[in-house]
Structure 1
Amino acid sequence: MTVQSLPAWMYTSEAFFERERQTIFRTAWQVVCHLNDIPEAGDYQAFDFLGERVLTVRGDDGEVRSFHNVCRHRASRLADGNQGNCGHRIVCPYHAWSYRLDGRLANVPPWQGFDGIDGDELGLKPIEQEIYLGFIFVRFAPGLPSVAEMMAPYTAELAPHCPADLQPQGRVTLRPRPVNWKNIGDNYSDSLHIPVAHPGLTRLFGTSYGIEAEPWVDKMWGDIVETPSSNWVERHYQALLPTFQHLEGRDQRRWNYYKLWPNVAFDVYPDQIDFMQFIPVSATQTVIREIAYVRPDARREVKAARYLNWRINRQVNAEDTVLIRRVQEGMESSGYETGPLGPSEVCLKGFAEKMAMFIPEAAQAAE
């Protein structure tokens, strides 16, 4: 029996989006940042996700903790912006309640009349947190395995790319897209469109593009070929990409892509590593959240390779933006209900099966 893709209505229905919100995203691990985004006491990252507000902060003791970014008095947001430093206290801008960096209630202004208040019961509410290869993940309800368990098939090959001194390259970028989050994820794990819609990647990889699916992680990869590209950006990247002592063999010239269920991806290159997160907003709106990290390396050819990498991937991003809009428009048409998945589309098949596991209405896609 031919395996079918997820039906179109799942990419447009607000009611189904609400089911995903409650059954998939409550238990899903979300990446907040890297440990080196918050190196000093009081450094924080704020992250909003489907109505939840996360505050991840470095304590005076050096520990990193994640809390709900909500004051226990009247629910005001505590920390503003995406990142910053709050000093040695987190102070609510509404009524000046303050909290220590470990989440404990520090002070309530005495003139407010809260005599005898139980400070032990009114500390910041913690959020479950896991640190994996230096990246900080949170989730809002238990259910899935740990990040380490889910990523286990690829930890050994990822570890050399994630040293303790990995540094953020710039700041988090937010890119709104008028499509369903699954549309972006499907495109990320789709290999059949590479030779059709990404001429640059095809020139770089030749026929080396590969794909495989583990229970919780999809992996795609391509090896940078030696034949000089006809495009000057790609050709210079091929020529300037240096040797890195932390990598062995084909990893010196391999681009790897990993997508962790359901909406977090890592683009892993010899010269840098990026995370991409498909933040669902509604049934037809998503924000792509991304940032790059690099090893300290002062070589001029490394700096040039990273710039060229950025140029190449901005073009790929522009091509993908057009593709996912085309698909979203088709999902809203009465002319499409579902389509067959080919034998090589193992990632899309695995995604449909996991959707069916969490939401029974999706079961028809996994038959």
Structure 2
Amino acid sequence: MSTAPHLVEAAASSLPGWIYRDPEYFAVEMERVIRPSWQVVCHVNDIAGAGQWQTIDYLGESVIVIRGEDGAVRAFTNVCRHRASRIVSGESGCARRLTCPYHAWTYALDGRLIGVPHKSDYPGLDQSGLGLLPVELETWRGFVFVRLESGGPSVAEMMAPYDHEVEPYRFEALHALGRVTLRPRDVNWKNVADNYSDGLHIPVAHPGLTRLFGRGYTIEANDHVDRMAGDLLDRPSANLSERAYQAMLPPAEHLPPALRRRWLYFKLWPNVAFDIYPDQVDFMQFLPVSPTETLIREISYALPDDRREMRAARYLNWRINRRVNDEDTALIRGVQQGMASRSWVPGPLGESEVCLRSFARKIRRLIPEANLHQPPQSGWSRG
């Protein structure tokens, strides 16, 4: 078997297997794809009061999002300017000020350095230049996003083609139903992203979704967002949980009739997804850990609704989607394992696989080496 690098027929082929496991490629991908991308952190209602904060950790960085005394929401690297200690630990909290646990350097909620013990030890210290380092932040319909490097469109610009469809869901008024869940997966993050936007596997591998939607699941790819959707059938499912969900889901009066029985999905390039249901909204992101490890970070939100039927529908939604997640976990693990075979070369992408074609095209544009069947010589990224 020849191992000489050769080009993929990029327009109609999936990405090569080596980029789903190669450490050198992974490092390049993190710099060119993930660091400049928007990552969702929380909802503004999660940090409604002054001093409330939440964190997100990825790519060796920890970012803290915090509401100031002035009501503004800001983002900073969670790193003390003195000796690099993490300032806060955990996923969330509330503080009147941020004090480093190592040497007690203290910062105001707006990031200013306001306290330095033994200040006389630092002649000429300019506190004004030693505040917490800011991270770019954007709030889109109540959800707070950050990115480590600037460049590219805003979240609002990315979602603009679908903003009219999202508007009725009243995202700004959502409140968390629980806490952030972290689910490790022994696969490359792109396998999770590929699977999320893949429509062909639904009737093959997800019998529950097929019972709910029939053959009516649709996908489309925009410049920065993939959209998937399925409308619940009137025909009762043979599965107890699915049938109960169909029967008990109460009308969401704030939604137009066409959306009251629709499950709607958006994936923002490259690794953030929103699952939008009549009863709740989930965000999910696929955070790369290593070439073969991914951390899925997710949480559910909903509008206040004390109806017994709505509470039951949300529980049934959870039961249905836990099964779907188990099915997807087995699928992506099998793909990751198959990509380790030297016999595998990129397979064809059908004309209907618009989301996978779009994803592959973006990756190849940002990293031309992704056009190769086999990895180039070690050290290529330094050339």
3-state SS, counterpart of residue 328 of structure 1: helix
The correspondence for 2:166, drawn from 158, 172, 185, is: 158
The correspondence for 1:180, drawn from 183, 188, 194, is: 188
1:212 maps to 2:220: yes
Matches within 5 A, 1:121-200: 121-200=129-208
Number of corresponding residues: 364
Q: 1:134–1:162: 8 Å Cα contact kept in structure 2?
A: no
Give 1:321's aligned amino acid: T
The correspondence for 1:320, drawn from 325, 328, 331, is: 328
Give 2:74's aligned amino acid: R
Matches within 5 A, 1:249-288: 249-288=257-296
For 1:111 and 1:102, the matched residues in 2 are separated by 21
3-state SS, counterpart of residue 271 of structure 1: coil
Corresponding residue number in structure 2 for 1:222: 230
Give 2:291's aligned amino acid: A
Q: 1:9–1:337: 8 Å Cα contact kept in structure 2?
A: no
Percent identity, aligned pairs only, is 59
Corresponding residue number in structure 1 for 2:210: 202
For structure 1, the residue ranges without an aligned partner over 5 or more in a row are: none
For 1:25 and 1:154, the matched residues in 2 are separated by 23
The correspondence for 1:46, drawn from 55, 73, 94, is: 55
3-state SS, counterpart of residue 297 of structure 2: strand
| Residues 1:127 and 1:186: Cα distance change in structure 2 (over 3 Å) | same
Q: 1:7–1:338: 8 Å Cα contact kept in structure 2?
A: yes
For 1:100 and 1:156, the matched residues in 2 are separated by 38
Corresponding residue number in structure 2 for 1:292: 300
3-state SS, counterpart of residue 354 of structure 1: helix
User: What's the CA shift for 1:142?
Assistant: 1.5
| Residues 1:112 and 1:332: Cα distance change in structure 2 (over 3 Å) | farther
1:239-286 per-residue CA deviation (whole Å, 9 max, x = no partner) reads 011111110022000000100000000000000000000000010000
The correspondence for 1:84, drawn from 88, 93, 101, is: 93
Give 1:75's aligned amino acid: A
User: What's the CA shift for 1:165?
Assistant: 2.2
| Residues 1:323 and 1:112: Cα distance change in structure 2 (over 3 Å) | farther
3-state SS, counterpart of residue 267 of structure 1: strand
Give 2:200's aligned amino acid: L
Corresponding residue number in structure 2 for 1:59: 68
Give 1:78's aligned amino acid: I
The correspondence for 2:116, drawn from 108, 122, 126, is: 108
User: What's the CA shift for 1:364?
Assistant: 6.0
Aligned-pair Cα RMSD in Å: 1.2
User: What's the CA shift for 1:161?
Assistant: 1.7
For 2:78 and 2:256, the matched residues in 1 are separated by 42
Q: 1:357–1:363: 8 Å Cα contact kept in structure 2?
A: no
For structure 2, the residue ranges without an aligned partner over 5 or more in a row are: 1-8, 374-383
Give 1:307's aligned amino acid: Y
Matches within 5 A, 1:9-24: 9-24=18-33
Give the TM-score normalised by the residue count of structure 2: 0.93
1:124-152 per-residue CA deviation (whole Å, 9 max, x = no partner) reads 00001000011111111122111111111
1:16-44 per-residue CA deviation (whole Å, 9 max, x = no partner) reads 10110111112101111110111111111
Give 1:204's aligned amino acid: L
User: What's the CA shift for 1:60?
Assistant: 1.1
Give 2:365's aligned amino acid: M
3-state SS, counterpart of residue 180 of structure 2: strand
3-state SS, counterpart of residue 164 of structure 1: helix
Give 1:259's aligned amino acid: K
